Amino acid sequence: MKTILITGCSSGFGLETAKHFLANNWKVIATMRTPDTSQFPSSDRLTILPLDVTSEHSIEQVIEQAGPIDVLVNNAGIGMLGPVEGTPMAIARTVFETNTIGTMAMTKAVIPQFRERRAGLIINVTSSVTLKSLPLLAIYTGSKAAINAFTESLALELAQFNIRVRLVLPGRSPTTRFGENAQARMQQGFNKHYASFLQGVFDQWQQDEVVTHTDDVVQAIWQVANEQDTPMRIAAGADAKALIHAAD
C-alpha cells in the first residue's frame, strides 16, 4: 500500500485529493495548519497532522510523524490579488514564504528518504496563471512561476536517484476558497488609483465560463501519481488546458 502526504488539506484541491486517494486504497497523510477531522471519513489509513509550511520545526515534526512516504503533493498556498503598487512588501513576503519557500522546504525535507530508497514522487501544484500574463496577479504569479522553474531544474538533479518531480497547473476555480483566503490581503493592498481597472478585471472574470473544477485537479494529481511517463507539466481544467496548448 502506497502512502501520500498532501499539504493544504483544509479545503479545495487538497481536501478532495486526500479523499480521492483514501477512497482508492492509499494511505493518506493529510496536513493543514489547523487539523479538522470532521471533513474526512473515518479510516485507519488516514492520518491528519498539523503543518505550517513556513515553519522549519513544523515541517520536521510532520516528516518524523509521517514516516516513509511514496508521494509528496505540495498543494498548500495562499492567494493574492491586487496591484503591486498598493501591496505592502510584508504581504508579498508572506505570499512567497508560503507558496515558494514553503514548497521548497517541504520538498527538501523528503528528498533524503527518497534518495536512500531510490524511489519517490514530488508533485508541485502551481497555477496556469504562470502560462499567460494577467493583471493584478503579479505577486501571486511570481510565487508560482518560481516553483515551476524550481521543479523543472530539481527534476534534472533527482532523476539519477529515480525520483520523479512533476507540476500540476490548475486554472481558475471559483468554487475554491482562493478569493476568500486572499480577501484580507487584497484589502490591505487596495490602491484607489486602480479602482476602475480592478472593477473591469473582475467584470471580465465574471463573464468567463471556462473554468477549472476541483475534480480536474484531483484527476491530474491521480494521473501523475499512477503513471510513470507523464509530462513535466500537466494542466488541470479546461481553461488551463487551453493556455498550455497556446503556450506550446
Closest CA to 63 of 77, 46, 75, 49: 49
Catalytic residue among 140, 150, 178, 194: 140
194 is annotated as an active-site residue: no
Q: Which residues are catalytic?
A: 140
